[in-house]
């Protein structure tokens, strides 16, 4: 096929030998099957902001690092330079997440290179070597649904142990190869420790999985893995092999406001005392 303009620089630089065919075009990117370094891979070409269908970026951008204060100011003022930098941060979020998650043993496509808004990565295939289907394209047995749900809950845990929440996990962002589910599409990935929206995003990701798999195994709709996982994470005890129950009991115990205020005042008094001791 004719080489798309967006892939021409990679062909010139020898990173892509041949563009074989389009694979899919989504709300954020167009994906092509390519030949690179003698292997069949895929090239994800990010769409410009005004051509994307995703409009809730601000929720995901909280806590994302920028290179310097000039970049941060430009992004805040929404200047042309700032919008360009914002795009760079947005695209790099997926690249960084893929490298971190692959290193942590999460089943994601292996990234190979990121050049001029194009991400070269592994083409996930089925047992016949064709592009792997999305989870949404499959009809599952009850047993398969329970198995895949369990696998994906473990992957969510492994992701969180690496400090990342997917932020947009659904049956449309999971491929199924010969070995099971593979998580894809991570430009919305957030830093669990730096984004105040992370707990809600994690719970939504997990609930999306329960809602989908409950079509085949209705009992999964009654699980509460999201709240349970986040509570363990906040306690500092989350590990990839943590044993989960799928149940969560919220505390109805009221906070002792008087005790809390007393502790705050004591801490303030101690801080004032230390300040004057230091000045003396």
Give pLDDT tens digits for 173-216.
Answer: 999 999 999 999 998 899 999 999 999 999 999 999 999 999 99
CB distance 40 to 18 below 8 Å: no
CB distance 173 to 166 below 8 Å: yes
Q: What percent of the chain has pLDDT over 90?
A: 66
State pLDDT tens for residues 261-273.
565 556 556 555 5
Output the six-digit token pair for 183.
Answer: 């998580």
Across the chain, mean pLDDT equals 84
Residue (of 42, 178, 212) closest to 121 by Cα position:
42
Stretch (H or E) spanning 93: helix 80-103
More confident call, 68 vs 34: 34
Helix axis angle, 198-213 relative to 225-235, nearest 10°?
Answer: 150
Distances (CA, A) of 137 to 81, 173, 206, 246: 40, 11, 19, 26
Q: What percent of the chain has pLDDT over 70?
A: 74
User: Does residue 229 register a pLDDT over 80?
Assistant: yes
Per-residue pLDDT, 75: 43
Name the pTM for this structure. Answer: 0.78
Q: How confident is the model at residue 96 (pLDDT cuts 50, 70, 90)?
A: very high
**Range from 26-40, 110-124, 226-240, 257-271 carrying the lowest mean pLDDT:** 257-271
**Residues 34, 50: Cα–Cα separation, whole Å:** 26
* Residues 6+ away with beta carbon under 8 Å from 4: 19, 30, 32, 45
Per-residue pLDDT, 72: 45
Pairing of strands 111-115, 29-36: unpaired
């Amino acid at each position: 096929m004719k080489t798309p303009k967006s892939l021409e620089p990679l062909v010139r630089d020898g990173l892509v030998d041949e563009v074989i065919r389009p694979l899919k075009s989504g709300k954020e990117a167009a994906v092509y099957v390519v030949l690179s370094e003698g292997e069949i891979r895929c090239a994800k070409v990010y769409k410009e902001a005004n051509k994307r269908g995703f409009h809730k970026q601000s929720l995901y951008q909280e806590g994302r690092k920028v290179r310097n204060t000039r970049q941060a100011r430009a992004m805040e003022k929404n200047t042309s330079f700032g919008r360009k930098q914002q795009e760079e941060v947005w695209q790099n979020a997926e690249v960084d997440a893929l490298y971190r998650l692959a290193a942590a043993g999460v089943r994601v496509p292996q990234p190979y290179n990121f050049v001029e808004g194009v991400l070269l990565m592994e083409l996930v295939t089925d047992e016949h070597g064709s592009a792997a289907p999305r989870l949404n394209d499959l009809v599952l047995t009850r047993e398969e649904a329970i198995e895949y749900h369990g696998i994906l809950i473990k992957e969510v845990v492994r992701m969180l142990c690496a400090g990342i929440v997917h932020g947009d996990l659904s049956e449309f962002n999971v491929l199924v190869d010969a070995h099971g589910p593979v998580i894809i599409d991570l430009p919305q990935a957030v830093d669990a420790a730096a984004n105040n929206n992370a707990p809600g995003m994690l719970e939504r990701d997990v609930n999306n999985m329960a809602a989908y798999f409950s079509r085949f195994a209705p009992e999964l709709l009654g699980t509460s893995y999201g709240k349970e996982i986040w509570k363990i994470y906040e306690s500092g005890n989350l590990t990839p092999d943590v044993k989960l129950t799928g149940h969560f009991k919220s505390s109805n115990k009221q906070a002792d406001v008087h005790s809390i205020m007393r502790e705050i005042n004591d801490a303030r008094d101690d801080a004032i005392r230390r300040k004057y001791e230091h000045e003396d």
